[in-house]
């Protein structure tokens, strides 16, 4: 029989039972575990188009086998899986800058990070002609880059030419 929160035990002394003053967490049986969190980083945070970025972090509480979706402006770039300690790591090639997020399948999102990606510019020189003229080709990646590009040509420390403009199809 229950008497003031206690039950008689076979030995005649009251057995421990929950009282109105005890919460489930005090009894070690918390029905609402802490929500997961993601602590993470990317490195480097500013790169040239085509360079590799590393995303790494930890999911707490640690759970083995959770997929962490890494996305740049909503486009998935990597999907590492956590190990037993909750750690994850992945690399991806930077093709666009923007807001980088890490999201668990349950919708938990880590703090947003910013990635800056500059266009990759290469210059190729043609053969020098006898009268000292050389043709240069400037290539920009991604080919869709529409910003302004400026190339300065120096010879023996002196500027000999400057070309500027907006590339078309990366040239």
Chain segment 145-161, per-residue pLDDT in tens: 888 888 888 889 999 88
Q: Which pLDDT band holds residue 28 (cuts at 50, 70, 90)?
A: low
Query: Does residue 23 surpass a pLDDT of 70?
Result: no
Torsion of CA 138, 139, 141, 146, to 10 degrees: 60
The model's pTM is 0.71
Question: By the 8 A CB rule, do 39 and 109 touch?
Answer: no
Question: By the 8 A CB rule, do 43 and 54 touch?
Answer: yes
Q: Which pLDDT band holds residue 27 (cuts at 50, 70, 90)?
A: low
Query: Does residue 109 surpass a pLDDT of 50?
Result: yes
Give 31 or 21, the one with higher predicted confidence.
31
Query: Does residue 2 surpass a pLDDT of 70?
Result: no
Q: Which pLDDT band holds residue 41 (cuts at 50, 70, 90)?
A: very high
pLDDT, mean of residues 47-69: 97
């Amino acid at each position: 029989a229950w008497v003031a929160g206690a039950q008689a035990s076979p030995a005649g002394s009251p057995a421990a039972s929950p009282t109105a003053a005890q919460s489930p967490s005090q009894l070690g049986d918390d029905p609402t575990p802490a929500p997961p969190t993601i602590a993470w980083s990317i490195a480097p945070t500013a790169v040239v188009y085509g360079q590799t970025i590393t995303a790494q972090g930890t999911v707490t509480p640690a759970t083995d086998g959770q997929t962490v979706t890494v996305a740049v402006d909503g486009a998935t770039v990597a999907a590492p899986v956590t190990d037993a300690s909750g750690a994850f790591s992945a690399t991806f090639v930077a093709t666009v800058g923007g807001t980088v997020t890490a999201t668990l399948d349950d919708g938990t999102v880590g703090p947003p990070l910013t990635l800056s990606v500059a266009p990759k510019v290469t210059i190729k020189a043609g053969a020098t002609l006898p009268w000292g003229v050389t043709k240069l080709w400037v290539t920009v990646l991604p080919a869709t880059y529409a910003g302004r590009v400026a190339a300065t040509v120096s010879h023996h420390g002196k500027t000999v030419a400057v070309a500027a403009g907006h590339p078309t199809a990366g040239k």
